[in-house]
Amino acid sequence: MRQKKWVIKQADNSAALVSLQEGLGIHPILCQLLLNRGIESFDEAKKFFRPSITDLHDPFLMQDMEIAVSTVLEKIAQGHKIMVYGDYDVDGTTSVSLMYSFLKQFTDQLIYYIPDRYGEGYGVSFQGIDKAEEEACTLIICLDCGIKAIKKVAYAKDKGIDFIICDHHRPGSELPAAVAVLDPKRSDCNYPYKELSGCGVGFKLAQAIAQRKGMDQASLLPLLDLVAVSIGADIVHITGENRVLAYFGLKVLNDKPRHGFKAFINHLKPDHNMDIGDVVFKIAPRINAAGRISHATKAVELLVASSLEEAETYASTIDEFNTRRRDLDERITEEAIGQIKDGGLEKAKSTVVANEDWHKGVVGIVASRLIETYYRPTIVFTIKDGKYTGSARSILGFDIYNALDACSEHIEAFGGHMYAAGLTVDESKFDVFKKAFAHYVDERLTEEDLVERVEVESVLELNQIDEGFFNILQQFEPHGPENLSPIFCAKEVVDSGWSRLVGENKDHLSLSLFNPNYPRDFYKGIAFRMKECFGQIQMKQSFAICYSLKENVWKDKKSIQLFVSDLKFKK
């Protein structure tokens, strides 16, 4: 099991903690969690625990929103045809589904378009613009991409096609000459919240149109299941406005989801309400599988399906794609690890691997898998027609986008975020790029940086856990970046004798633990991929665990379960 460093936050004994505890009347550890999230007053806590749809910002605060709304309404009034264009990942397909679902209330002169991952690649494509011309579209609403599509937007303009860009990626030094560029990360945009997903930016456009047409804001709520899924899948911050959108979006997902999500949920048969974790690990991989194995248009067809029967058909097909995707990423991960070992690169500070036989649709997943084994910045490439096409993933605190930017003279194209990016490198420049990337990483990361950190919010011994504590802890959801599920530390636990190996390959630990000072109280837990620890656990010696708390439902009975992320034995 890979070594991890536990970083336990210091307990706060400030006046703010005392004030929160007095105002809220809750456990001091829960008040500490609030302070860790920048929440220092009763009113801020109330807003955090009780999100309101009225907390959403005015969409017209976003730069170019006025012209974007006027353009859309003018095109609809004049009977012009509109293309809704989006990327092939979850954020892109949910964005397209949202905008298409919303606009079809007002016009039937509407089509959607998703580029082919393999034939067109990421972002706006010339083929997509040609399709818009062929279909006599005079406006393309581009979602989750387009912020750097300067040449493509100019190409469309020459054909008499206007562009509205709804993106959330970092702009370059020049913006495309679109009618409107909606991106809160624009340097000249004063929108109060900068971390929207691409689908979130699309929602703000829908919100602004609805506002201009005098529609009730509640009429937009059915769109929020799409926004919640995009937020979870794209790993954006779950703070501020995103927290409100995710909170109400999950309510829609659980209470009255669109047919496409309902079909997925029927296939999954969950015994609990879907949360962000289910979005990330169950729904998102299935939506992504459509574009990885076949074409992402199938994901949009699912998400805009007009009946459950229609959606069930699409969901079954996408489930088959997901099974194929899982088989592929397992095989390729194994081959990539073999490549690292054969090259004697286990101790390197970065990973760059490539193979012409690797499926382009799963290299990003493989990069994430490799980080689970070798905790370091990682790029996985596939090769075709003299081009290396790769996905990059990073570790805590290391900006992979900046790393690629520093090596950009060797890169044909790239884009992405701090922790995930995509790139294309010409075969003639691959070796020099590989050296430049390794050099950049070597200069900036120490050996200590390459030890995964477990950020522990507080020491919480097992005997301190009760139902009241857990009920309030659940109100910290939905979790995600900047509001991660709290990780606690118990410094002394002992196996009750009922712990065992579970899973198809007996890779996981089902734990039954107690605090040695309170031997009557047993706590059930799960520790994934920690089978090598089973022998020591059975010796009945005390050990320490890092864990989060989850609700477990079994045969309609609810219980508190420990999700153990690491454990350490006394030396």
> For position 141, which CATH number holds?
3.90.1640.30
Q: Are residues 88 and 220 in the same domain?
A: yes
- Does residue 51 lie within any of the structural domains? no
Task: Read off the CATH number of the domain in which 507 is found.
Answer: 2.40.50.460
**Beta strands per DSSP E along 148-225:** 162-166, 180-182
Q: Are residues 242 and 98 in the same domain?
A: yes
Q: Are residues 424 and 461 in the same domain?
A: no
Residue in the block written with tokens 């089509």: 111
Which domain-ending residue is among 450, 483, 505? Answer: 450
DSSP letter string over 350-391?
-EEEEETTS-GGGHHHHHHHHHHHS-S-EEEEEEETTEEEEE
Q: Are residues 355 and 446 in the same domain?
A: yes
Q: Are residues 539 and 494 in the same domain?
A: yes
Burial zone of 309 (CB within 10 Å; 0-12 exposed, 13-18 middle, 19+ buried):
exposed
**Cis status, amide bond into 59, omega within 30 of 0:** no
Q: Are residues 65 and 188 in the same domain?
A: yes
Q: Model pTM greater than 0.85? A: yes
- Does residue 376 lie within any of the structural domains? yes
Which domain-ending residue is among 394, 416, 450? Answer: 450
- Does residue 113 lie within any of the structural domains? yes
State the pLDDT at residue 56. 96
Burial zone of 251 (CB within 10 Å; 0-12 exposed, 13-18 middle, 19+ buried):
middle
For residue 389, give its domain range: 345-450
Contact (Cβ atoms closer than 8 angstroms) between residue 477 and residue 508: no
Q: Are residues 77 and 194 in the same domain?
A: yes
- Does residue 312 lie within any of the structural domains? yes
- Does residue 364 lie within any of the structural domains? yes
Task: Read off the CATH number of the domain in which 389 is found.
Answer: 3.10.310.30
Residue in the block written with tokens 């900046």: 402
- Does residue 326 lie within any of the structural domains? no
- H helices within 37-135, ranges in order? 42-49, 65-77, 90-103, 126-134
Q: Are residues 243 and 195 in the same domain?
A: yes
Q: Are residues 413 and 401 in the same domain?
A: yes
- Does residue 36 lie within any of the structural domains? no
Q: Are residues 377 and 408 in the same domain?
A: yes
Number of structural domains in the chain: 3
- Does residue 72 lie within any of the structural domains? yes
Q: Are residues 203 and 148 in the same domain?
A: yes
Which domain-ending residue is among 417, 450, 483? Answer: 450
Give, for all 571 residues of the chain, the pLDDT tens digit: 678 999 999 877 778 888 899 999 999 999 999 999 999 999 999 999 999 999 999 999 999 999 999 999 999 999 999 999 999 999 999 999 999 999 999 999 999 999 998 889 889 999 999 999 999 999 999 999 999 999 999 999 999 999 999 999 989 899 999 999 999 999 999 999 999 999 999 999 999 999 999 999 899 999 999 999 999 998 899 999 999 999 999 999 999 999 999 999 998 888 788 999 999 999 999 999 999 899 999 999 999 999 999 999 999 999 999 999 999 999 999 999 999 999 999 999 999 999 999 998 899 999 999 999 999 999 999 999 999 999 999 998 899 999 999 999 999 988 877 888 999 999 999 999 999 999 999 999 999 999 999 999 999 999 999 999 999 999 999 999 899 999 999 999 999 999 999 998 899 999 999 999 887 888 999 999 899 999 999 988 899 999 999 998 877 788 999 999 999 998 7
Q: Are residues 485 and 390 in the same domain?
A: no
